[in-house]
Amino acid sequence: MYHGVGKTPLREKSVDCDSTMGVPLPTSRDIHHHGGARGVVGAGGQGRTPKDARSARHLSMRHHQRRWMAATWVERHVRMVRGMYAATQALAVVLLVVVGAGCREEKQAEPLKSLKPEPLPSLTVPGEAAPEAPRPASPSEVEVAGPIHGEPLPASALRVALAGERVRVGEEAFEPARPDDAARLARRVKGHTVLVVPDADTFLVQTSELFTVLRDSAESVWLAHPDGPVAYPVVLRDEAGFRAWLEEVAPGKLRIIMRADGFELTTSVGKLPGPDPNGPSVPVRAGRQDIVTLRRGLGLLKGRFKTSEDICLVPSFGTEVAQAARALGGNFTAPGEPLFDTLCFVYPTPHKAPDGG
């Protein structure tokens, strides 16, 4: 543009504009005035200060931090949900197994009758024992008593001979019902093996004090057979001791109840049946105790109670001691071969303390 003739044309102050935005570009003065490149003019012609730039960077960092925290939270909860899902699946499997086990058909309990002990053998049932030959109307002594079996007489035993309520040890006489004699007898037999030799007329009820002294003082007690050179080692028990033995937990608890009408063989599961359900297992024959059949009955019980090692003879207290000694022979099938290793002999407990009157 010219202002006059002959004058150098003056150039108007030019302003470079952005062709697209119509915003003037900053000049060097603007840049210098606003602090160099950091003072560039932004959109709308306003410049950004250093403080504004720092604020922008701070906002950008906070923005990225929030995005990272959000992503972390999402990832953490995704893992938790996955873990809960896996635990739920495992619990479902366990429940299925438990329910399946509960739904199985339970095994039906055995009826109570199956718990009933095996019945005892019978002396009258064929096949339980070898059949016997027909019995004569008047059997001989051998047919009823059978052979005499037992143990040999104990050597060096102290012999105690019975004579009613009195006993003899060598040349000494004692009356065990008297306290002084009971004390002397206890000193005499203390630590010794004693062989009791019965006579024909001494009853069991007369021997209470004697057997009490022997039980408490003697080393061991044997009962001699009245008809042969054999004897039987016995464990003496009074009535209280017998009841305590019955209460022990052991199979069998076999006992021979000796009555006037025969032998009743009793166990922890009942009585061995005999020919008469209401009578003894082994009734008397021709007025005599049937030792042969007693031996056979004890053999049946040994086969039924294989682990039982002891048996008790329980005579009625009005029985002769000699008869009780003969009954002990039913435990032996041959000399020195007992069916049961231990023989218990039950005697009546003294009813009162001995006095000196």
Least confident of 44-48, 60-64, 155-159, 274-278: 44-48
* pLDDT above 70 for 3: no
H, E, C per residue of 68-129: HHHHHHHHHHHHHHHHHHHHHHHHHHHHHHHHHHHHCCCCCCCCHHHHCCCCCCCCCCCCCC
Phi-psi region of 336 (alpha: psi -120 to 50; beta: other; left: phi over 0): left
Confidence of residue 5 (pLDDT cuts 50, 70, 90): very low
pLDDT digits (tens, 9 = 90+) for 144-183: 889 999 999 999 999 999 999 999 999 999 999 999 999 9
Task: Over range 252-261, report the average pLDDT.
Answer: 94
Given a cut of 90, whether residue 116 has pLDDT beyond it is no
What are the C-alpha distances in Å from 165 to residues 45, 70, 198, 223, 253? 148, 112, 12, 17, 32
Which of 12-16, 26-30, 48-52 has the largest mean confidence? 48-52
Task: Look over the chain and give the mean of its residue pLDDT values, rounded to a whole number.
Answer: 78
The whole-number pLDDT of residue 278 equals 85
Contact (CB, 8 A) for 257 and 264: yes
CA distances from 38 to 14, 21, 49, 86, 247 (A): 24, 21, 7, 57, 112
Better pLDDT: 136 or 175: 175
| Contact assessment for residue 123 and residue 273, using Cβ atoms and an 8 Å cutoff | yes
Tens-digit pLDDT profile for residues 279-310 = 899 999 988 999 999 999 999 999 989 999 99
For the chain, the domains span: 142-346
Q: Residue 117's pLDDT band (boundaries 50, 70, 90)? A: low
pLDDT for 178-198, tens place per residue?
999 999 999 999 999 999 999
Average pLDDT of span 14-33: 45
Mean pLDDT throughout 109-127?
A: 56
Other residues' Cβ atoms within 10 Å of the Cβ of residue 47:
16
